[in-house]
Amino acid sequence: MERFGEGGFMGLEHIPGTCRARMVRDDGRFFREVDENCFDGPARLRECDRDGVGVQVLSTVPVMFSYWAKPAHGEQVAQFLNDDLAHTVATHPDRFVGLGTLPLQDPERACRELERCVKELGLLGVQIGSHVETGPGPLDERWMLSDPRLFPVFQTASDLGAAVFIHPWDMMGEARMQRYWLPWLVGMPAEESLALCSLIFGGVFERLPDLRVLVAHGGGSFAGTLGRIEHGFRCRPDLVAIDNAQPPSSYLGRFWVDSLVLDPKALRDIVGLFGDHRVALGTDYPFPLGETVPGETIRAAGFDDVVRRKLLVDNALAWLGVDP
């Protein structure tokens, strides 16, 4: 892949004599090694068969969002990724479902690519980041999902009936968290709460009641801090309720989260909070923070057969807009 600009990624370099590849930054610095199950459809199918997974939803690795790139370059990256993903899905349409990626740094291009994903490529939705880092600069130059410039993208998704999956990248405070893998352990959950609060306080859910959003990792820290968020809304409406007068708790049951909290008790808690119709299987496959066996947390949580089926199958289909 062509080098698109400072700070991003070139993609994959095959490691000779292996089925592995290196992900490298555009300046040649090593990022991580990945196995073939990160980029090879047949390898994924073998592991799906091994683990009893009938259908898998595919999306790009978040480091490839490339929101930092020039808009025209970001559009090229998105088109390249989406074309490749659509080809993989079309090769195995009974086993794979695809979510595209968008050049969110240019909402007009993002809307155009979203329409292409759905109408031409047959993808059922898109994956986006928890915020949009439009380039190097102060944090206040970056867009939260409540930014009015992004609303047309959500409007387009709602009009098309496209599912939206939110997964973090470029985590807040990363410069201060250089040790102990803290960006992934602390930053990611905070980013997911940031995304949900942005959509709620910015009135996106209120204005688009048919928008289908799913947030990764059980919604991050949102569930554990909802009491504080709700109290802040009520005690300082002059600071919080400035774009939407509806309390955060009124949106419980309006969005989906995945089940990847890696603890049965925590899973029971989020099912109790969000509803057993709004939590869908998530695995973080094929990365280290994912479940060792897909669905093991759901199966260990002690749900009855009806709820277990909802979490393993039905809720994902509802979010994707697929008739069971």
- pLDDT on residue 323: 84
- pLDDT on residue 3: 30
Going by C-beta distance under 8 Å and a sequence separation of 6 or more, which residues neighbour residue 204?
A: 145, 146, 151, 154, 198, 211
Tokens linked to 255:
């969005």
- pLDDT on residue 33: 73
pTM of the model: 0.92
What is the distance between the alpha carbons of residues 134 and 71, in angstroms, rounded to a whole number? 9
- pLDDT on residue 162: 98
Residue 30 CA from chain centroid, whole number: 24
Sign for the pseudo-dihedral over CA of 240, 246, 252, 255: negative
Residues 268-312 have pLDDT tens digits of 999 999 999 999 999 999 988 899 899 999 999 999 999 999 999
Place of tokens 């240019």: 106
DSSP conformation letters of 202-214: TTHHHH-TT-EEE
What is the distance between the alpha carbons of residues 236 and 18, in angstroms, rounded to a whole number? 57
What is the distance between the alpha carbons of residues 222 and 226, in angstroms, rounded to a whole number? 6
Evaluate whether 283 touches 294 at the Cβ level (below 8 Å).
Answer: yes
Evaluate whether 34 touches 20 at the Cβ level (below 8 Å).
Answer: yes
Residues 74-126 have pLDDT tens digits of 999 999 999 999 999 999 999 999 999 999 999 999 999 999 999 999 999 99
Amino acid, single-letter form, for residue 157: A
What is the distance between the alpha carbons of residues 280 and 309, in angstroms, rounded to a whole number? 10
Q: What is the number of alpha carbons within 13 Å of residue 267 lying toward its C-beta?
A: 24
Whether 15 has a pLDDT exceeding 80, the answer reads no
Tokens linked to 168:
């973090």
Average pLDDT over residues 250-271: 98
- pLDDT on residue 12: 60
What is the distance between the alpha carbons of residues 302 and 195, in angstroms, rounded to a whole number? 30
Beta bridge partners of 22: 13, 33
Average pLDDT of the chain, as a whole number? 91
Question: How many residues make up the chain in this entry?
Answer: 324
Residues 216-233 have pLDDT tens digits of 999 999 999 999 999 999
- What backbone phi and psi angles, to 5 degrees, belong to 188? -60, -50
- pLDDT on residue 18: 61
Q: Is 114 left (phi over 0), alpha (psi -120 to 50) or beta?
A: alpha
- What backbone phi and psi angles, to 5 degrees, belong to 204? -65, -45
Which secondary-structure segment (H or E) carries 166? strand 163-166
Whether 36 has a pLDDT exceeding 90, the answer reads no
- pLDDT on residue 257: 98
Residues 117-144 have pLDDT tens digits of 999 999 999 999 999 988 655 544 789 9
Domains of the chain: 52-320 (3.20.20.140)
Number of H helices, E strands in the chain: 13, 12
